[in-house]
Homo-oligomer: A and B are copies of this chain.
Amino acid sequence: MSSPARPFNVEQLVADLRAQLGDRVTTGESHRELHSHGESWHTPGRPDVVVFPETTEEVAAVVRIAASHRAPVVPFGAGSSLEGHVSALQGGISLDLTRMNRILRVSADDLDATVQAGVTRKQLSKHVNPMGLEFWVDPGADATIGGMASTRASGTTAVRYGTMREAVLGLTVVLADGRVIHTGSRARKSAAGYDLTRLFVGAEGTLGVLTEVTLRLFGLPDAISAAICPFTTFEGAVRTVITTLQLGIPIARIEFLDDRMVDAINRYSKTSYAVQPTLFFEFHGISERAVSEQAEAVQAIAREHGGTAFEWATTPEARTTLWQARHNVHHAGVALRPGCQMWVTDVCVPISQLAECLLETKSELATLPLTTPIVGHVGDGNFHVLCVVNPDDAEEMAVAKAMNERLVRRALRMGGTCTGEHGVGFGKMGYLEEEHGEAIEVMKAIKRALDPLNLMNPGKMVRV
């Protein structure tokens, strides 16, 4: 397949890139196809060329070449994006960062590490676990740290350890004109200047390319236990979460699954959990005693709210079974309709609104011809409808789209957000405008100030 006409000279662009990176530049069809999409149903966008830089300086050189040609630069990590972030909508360069996979520094005393952007979270965990350390942000996929920072990712442990917003202490960023800056500090806190670190975290590559990330780590807890508890009602489960947080019980994970999701898990993982609204818990502490105390306190709260069958998983094996089942929700969902794909919604609401939001959503879903289990990071008020769709069925896709739209508007009405952790990409640009109103103009002003040629992941986040 030849490229569509571009406002830049593709051949000359490729020649200039080859002069810089040699054989780490490819225009092969398979590479271009692979780099045209993430893991979602969104329209792919094929880059003209894929490059594999290994250092910040090489990224800067690529960005300077791109600027000289007025060609777009689209960063690419593990390709696990769910909102079309990595599609090269206007062609140009897919900047594959996976060869920037070196862990540059770990400090056990400072509980931090600096890594190249292409390091994956599992790679980092494996590296730091023997030092008694852990990087806790866990979005499920084995995403790259650069991708996770760029989408402000989170996951099951955010309720205790925060999201990438809290986890990133500093960045090395290649700006749109190829300049390299360092943001933040290795100091644990700073009041020195505008918070550029937090500005680039979640900017989805639209303001510059992240090449190195300094991250906060934690000591591995001395004791861990887990539990599962079915509830008679949604409200009971949510009220259990609210009371747990109010009491300051430092719960490490608190995950919600609706009855459909539990059923799907049972089928897929050969488990036999009660098919009811269910909470999965994990407790971390400085001792077995501390962990037991937390778990007993939560058990007592659950009992008051219709969660009577609290079941412990204290052995590592039982914990693994439980969390393996939780981690497999995507596979379990897709297994409900083999051959289909997942359209994953991602609203997040104030937790006081969560029960109502879930109930309204469930009652709407009951009327739709869709397969829609629900899973949620309820400690944060974030839940996903795992809408299993056939992307080739236009009618079904329209139903799913309308459902997502109503869900987003429901969340916004309740003071929530259109995306808790998956980001905007080009899938949610319209909702972003609805959510932020006039503040969108400030985002556009920043985009124009830092990327005046609109070459950094163009067509994503904001319309400039």
Give residues in A with beta carbon < 8 Å to B.
107-112, 132, 151-154, 158, 162-163, 165-166, 175, 179-183, 185-196, 198-199, 201-203, 207, 218-219, 221-222, 242, 245-250, 284-287, 289-290, 293-294, 297, 346, 348-352, 379-382, 411, 415-424, 428, 431-432, 435-443, 445-450, 461-462
Chain B residues within 8 Å of A294, by CB = 286
Partner of A418, one of B192, B198, B221: B192
Q: Is the CB of B248 within 8 A of A221?
A: yes
Chain B residues within 8 Å of A446, by CB = 194, 199, 446, 449-450
Partner of A198, one of B107, B132, B199, B297: B199
**Shortest Cβ distance from A423 into chain B, in angstroms?**
4
Q: Is the CB of A199 within 8 A of B195?
A: yes
Given known contacts A182-B436, A290-B293, what 5 new A-B pairs fall within 8 Å (CB)?
A163-B189, A187-B411, A191-B422, A192-B418, A446-B449
Given A350-B187, A416-B186, answer yes or no on A193-B443 (Cβ-Cβ < 8 Å): yes
Q: Is the CB of B350 within 8 A of A437?
A: no
Q: Is the CB of B436 within 8 A of A445?
A: no
Q: Is the CB of A442 within 8 A of B450?
A: yes
Report Cα–Cα, A222/B247, bound state, in Å: 8
What are 10 sample pairs from A and B whose C-beta atoms fall under 8 A apart?
A185-B348, A185-B415, A187-B382, A188-B380, A188-B381, A192-B423, A192-B432, A193-B443, A194-B447, A445-B449
Report Cα–Cα, A219/B186, bound state, in Å: 30
Chain B residues within 8 Å of A284, by CB = 248
Report Cα–Cα, A421/B82, bound state, in Å: 37
Chain B residues within 8 Å of A420, by CB = 187, 189-191
Report Cα–Cα, A450/B438, bound state, in Å: 13
Q: Is the CB of B110 within 8 A of A248?
A: no
Chain B residues within 8 Å of A348, by CB = 185, 187-190
Q: Sorted from nearest, which 3 A-B pairs have the closest CB atoms?
A: A198-B198, A109-B352, A449-B449
Report Cα–Cα, A211/B418, bound state, in Å: 25
Q: Is the CB of B190 within 8 A of A443?
A: no
Chain B residues within 8 Å of A154, by CB = 189, 191
Q: Is the CB of B181 within 8 A of A432?
A: no
Q: Which residue of chain B lies nearest to A131 when distances are taken between CB atoms in the complex?
A: B246
Q: Which residue of chain B lies nearest to A217 when distances are taken between CB atoms in the complex?
A: B246
Report Cα–Cα, A219/B435, bound state, in Å: 29
Report Cα–Cα, A285/B194, bound state, in Å: 34
Q: Is the CB of B203 within 8 A of A194?
A: yes
Q: Which residue of chain B lies nearest to A241 when distances are taken between CB atoms in the complex?
A: B109
Q: Is the CB of B352 within 8 A of A107?
A: yes
Q: Is the CB of A416 within 8 A of B187?
A: yes
Given A198-B195, A449-B445, answer yes or no on A181-B438 (Cβ-Cβ < 8 Å): yes
Given A198-B199, A221-B248, A286-B248, answer yes or no on A438-B179 (Cβ-Cβ < 8 Å): yes
**Shortest Cβ distance from A99 into chain B, in angstroms?**
25
Report Cα–Cα, A202/B215, bound state, in Å: 21
Report Cα–Cα, A345/B415, bound state, in Å: 41
Chain B residues within 8 Å of A248, by CB = 218-219, 221-222, 284-286
Q: Is the CB of B191 within 8 A of A421?
A: yes
**Shortest Cβ distance from A59 into chain B, in angstroms?**
15
Q: Is the CB of A109 within 8 A of B351?
A: yes
